[in-house]
A and B are shown apart, each in its own frame.
Chain A
Amino acid sequence: MDILNFIFLGFKVGLQPVNLFYCFIGVLLGTLIGVLPGIGPVATISILLPITVKISPVSAIIMLAGIYYGAQYGGSTTSILVNIPGEASSVVTCLDGYQMARRGRAGPALGIAAIGSFIAGTLSLLGLTFLAYPFTNMALKFGPPEYFSLMVFALIILSYLAHGSMIKALIMAMFGLILSYVGMDIVTGRMRFTFNILDLSDGFGLVPLVMGLFGISEVLINIEQTLSREVFKTKIKNLLPTLKDWTTAKWAILRGTIIGFFLGILPGAGPVISSFVSYTVEKRVSKTPEKFGTGMIEGVAGPESANNASAQGAFIPLFTLGIPPNVTTAILLGALIIYGLQPGPLLIQDHPDFFWGVIVSMYIGNGMLLLLNLPMIPLWVQVLRVPYPILFPLILLFCLIGSYSLSNSTFDVFVMIFFGIVGYLMRKFNYEGAPLVMAFVLGPLLEQNLRRSLIISGGSFSIFMTRPISAITLIIAFLLLLSTFITNMRKKKPSSEEVI
């Protein structure tokens, strides 16, 4: 079967009415939560995970993926109109997007964000379509040592790219690993750290854990602050950018797409870093860098393209290697495992209908998003006016129902509340949740591959250094750790704002 046949198969799956429905629901919800500050794709995907258990895996992933990349579209609306980023990946869009709105150019800013996102998303999907096979062929040559090293690499790079202290991020990763070992050991059948609690014999559930860490904690953080959302009062007109806007923005869109796509594949980078890097690059290549921050269209087009390209590029390592490059895809990995699918090189071979169905649905979803975001912008502006006191009880109720419905047990509800408190304290003391969740999802796979590697090598750790791919990834990971240590010894790591 060549690639065209696979794409045809994908269209057959993706165009089924039920999948079109879930794709639409996904991108609609994605745009909605992207527009609403205070709830992100991680929390939403976590909240909806229990519901997706009741539908087919392909429809479930089509919907959840739609939420992920749809949120990247919606996030720009609040950045441009309210100067509050709907998503972390739209933080930089505030800088020039809001200034454009203040100058009466909210329309072109929103338009270029949506069109740039569409172009970047589509180009990125083409990359995903054609790179999936080479990646899969490469991954088929991987053994347990390579997988172990890649997972260690993913955890270290995610911690390296953490917003704050790397030590704190690594502490979170270790905490996540420890949490993942609670429950029955799959090799010996012995109970680990369960304290004779029967409900813990299967370990902590991914859903209550992420719902607590991201859903409940987000509500707890938001309700203690008084957020003022002043929607910029301007008539939104001329959504389609002018020829001059196009000439200025087209290279920014292309550069943003390339940056986002490749950073999306890399573990740890993701849409947030991609948008920051894109903004920095646009400022560097501009003939008038001093004008950035005053309403330059490249400052909107580049980052918005980058975050979309990154969101879709992230599916390459997830589907082909089974290694999630960021926290959202880590939850999707967990979801796939719950549905009984094992992401990795065999996923494309054994379930081509699933893989290509999801890929094709993303093309369709991108088209839907363009339609949702351009003509319906006035509606999203109205959504911004929904007060948080109405929104947060609904978020909490969905979390409660979601955690309960997984196994009809209040134990999971208590677990979720517990991790909600943990997540709240983590945020207060600048501990990031992403390394924790990534380590929690990868923990059992990491242990499995370490044990297998040691059995293959007869107990020698040298196996990780004698196999080239494993050795290279571990050396890069070690160098990253070393560079952070040296930088810390010399000076404080610059923040993202300082980079800009």
Chain B
Amino acid sequence: MRKAEQIISILWIGLAISVCVGSLRLELGTFHDPGPGFLPFGAGALLGLLAIAHLINVSFRFSEGEEKGLPWIDVHWQKGIYVIIALLAYAYLLPKVGYLIDTFFLMLFLFGVMGRKRWWAVFIGTLFVIGITYLIFAVWLMVQFPKGFLGIG
């Protein structure tokens, strides 16, 4: 855990440096007339200082009691990865295949694969959810869902 915290602190420092450099390019302006980079520079610099303080803290003041393993022990972290991949695929395919088809496959995956329910229940549940959400959002709230290449949705 200490190593992970150290790596995260270094990432924060990296972000802080990038923000400061970016802010300098934007122009800091003067105290009388602050430029667009003025406050981002201040926030970046403070972030850097805090990250250094945290790095020192975790490197030198970590007590033995606090030394724990990574927070992925004893959990099914793989499930989260599957869900993220499914969400990314959904977002990517949404304009291409349309709301109805895209959502049908996403729900089938989430209810069926992740939820491990009976397939007939998954199928009916998926259709029910799509129907209800379509009525609420597309019909009642008039959200313009993408229709996709089939022109439905």
With beta carbons under 8 angstroms apart, the residue of A389, A410, A420, A450 that contacts B114 is A389
B residues 12-71 in Cβ contact with A at 8 Å: 12, 15, 19, 22, 26, 30-40, 43-44, 46-47, 50-51, 53-54, 57, 63, 71
A177 touches B137 (CB 8 A): no
Number of A-B contacts (CB under 8 A): 157
With beta carbons under 8 angstroms apart, the residue of B32, B50, B80, B83 that contacts A459 is B32
A413 touches B91 (CB 8 A): yes
B118 CB within 8 Å of chain A: no
With beta carbons under 8 angstroms apart, the residue of B71, B79, B94 that contacts A410 is B94
A residues 165-180 in Cβ contact with B at 8 Å: 165, 167-168, 170-171, 174-175, 177-178
A486 CB within 8 Å of chain B: no
The size of the chain B interface, using a CB distance under 8 A, is 63
What residues of B have a CB within 8 angstroms of the CB of A393 in the complex?
A: 106-107, 110-111, 114-115, 129
Closest approach, in angstroms, between the C-beta of A197 and any C-beta of chain B? Answer: 14
CA distance A387 to B121 in the complex (A): 14
What residues of B have a CB within 8 angstroms of the CB of A458 in the complex?
A: 32
B36 touches A396 (CB 8 A): no
B135 CB within 8 Å of chain A: no
User: Which among A19-27, A71-79, A118-126, A216-224 touches the partner chain?
Assistant: A216-224
A408 CB within 8 Å of chain B: yes
From A190, A220, A404, residue with most partner B Cβ within 10 Å:
A404
What residues of A have a CB within 8 angstroms of the CB of B90 in the complex?
A: 400, 413
With beta carbons under 8 angstroms apart, the residue of B5, B75, B80, B107 that contacts A397 is B107
A177 touches B39 (CB 8 A): yes
B139 CB within 8 Å of chain A: no
Given A401-B137, A420-B84, do A185 and B36 touch, yes or no (CB 8 Å)?
yes
Closest approach, in angstroms, between the C-beta of B24 and any C-beta of chain A? Answer: 12
User: Which among A281-289, A305-313, A421-429, A466-474 touches the partner chain?
Assistant: A421-429
B32 touches A455 (CB 8 A): yes
A142 CB within 8 Å of chain B: no
With beta carbons under 8 angstroms apart, the residue of A188, A413, A450, A461 that contacts B35 is A188
Interface size class of A (residues with CB under 8 A): 35 or more
B4 CB within 8 Å of chain A: yes
What residues of A have a CB within 8 angstroms of the CB of B107 in the complex?
A: 393, 397
A residues 124-149 in Cβ contact with B at 8 Å: none
A residues 446-500 in Cβ contact with B at 8 Å: 446-447, 450-451, 454-455, 458-461, 492
A234 CB within 8 Å of chain B: no
Closest approach, in angstroms, between the C-beta of B87 and any C-beta of chain A? Answer: 5
B50 touches A400 (CB 8 A): no
B residues 70-102 in Cβ contact with A at 8 Å: 71-72, 75-77, 79-80, 83-84, 87-88, 90-92, 94-95
A414 CB within 8 Å of chain B: yes
What residues of B have a CB within 8 angstroms of the CB of A459 in the complex?
A: 30-33
A224 touches B87 (CB 8 A): no
Given A181-B39, A390-B115, A396-B83, do A428 and B32 touch, yes or no (CB 8 Å)?
no
Given A223-B83, A397-B106, A405-B137, do A414 and B32 touch, yes or no (CB 8 Å)?
no
B143 CB within 8 Å of chain A: yes
Given A224-B79, A424-B80, do A178 and B40 touch, yes or no (CB 8 Å)?
yes
Cβ proximity bits A220-241 to B, threshold 8 Å, 1 near / 0 not: 1001111000000000000000
A356 CB within 8 Å of chain B: no
B39 touches A224 (CB 8 A): no
CA distance A484 to B100 in the complex (A): 53
A386 CB within 8 Å of chain B: no
Given A167-B54, A397-B106, A405-B141, do A192 and B26 touch, yes or no (CB 8 Å)?
yes
10 A-B contact pairs sorted by A residue (CB < 8 Å) = A177-B43, A220-B80, A220-B84, A223-B83, A390-B111, A390-B125, A392-B110, A393-B129, A404-B143, A417-B87
Known A-B contacts: A181-B39, A400-B106. Give 7 more (CB < 8 A).
A188-B35, A216-B87, A223-B80, A393-B106, A400-B87, A414-B91, A420-B87
B residues neighboring A (CB under 8 Å):
4-5, 8, 12, 15, 19, 22, 26, 30-40, 43-44, 46-47, 50-51, 53-54, 57, 63, 71-72, 75-77, 79-80, 83-84, 87-88, 90-92, 94-95, 103, 106-107, 110-111, 114-117, 125, 129, 133, 137, 141-145
**6 closest A-B pairs by CB:** A389-B115, A459-B31, A459-B32, A393-B110, A185-B36, A174-B47
